[in-house]
Amino acid sequence: MSDKPSRRLIAEQAEKLLGRSRMAEGLQVSEDEIQSWCEGRSALSDSQLLRLSDLLAKYAARKRQS
C-alpha cells in the first residue's frame, strides 16, 4: 500500500497552517515544489517529511505560547 495519499494530505494541511511561502522557506524548497506535493504530482521524501514535522512542531509550540 502506498503512503503517497497520506503524505499529500499532510502537505495540504501543513500548507493551510503555515502558508506556502513559510513552508517552502522552512523546508528550503520552491513554492512550486509545495504545490506539486499538494496536487499529488510528486511526493514528500522521507527527509522532507521529517523536516516538515519539525516545522509543524515549532509552529504548534509558538501557538501554545500565544
For 9-66, what is each residue's pLDDT tens digit? 999 999 999 999 999 999 999 999 999 999 999 999 999 999 999 999 999 999 899 8
pLDDT band at 3 (very low <50, low <70, confident <90, very high): low
Domain span holding position 21:
4-65
Q: Angle formed by the axes of helices 46-65 and 4-18, to 10°? A: 30
Is a pLDDT exceeding 70 seen at residue 4? Answer: no
This prediction has a pTM of: 0.85
Confidence (pLDDT) at 2: 53
pLDDT value, residue 5: 73
Identify the CA nearest to 18 among candidates 47, 50, 45, 52: 52
The number of distinct structural domains making up the chain is: 1
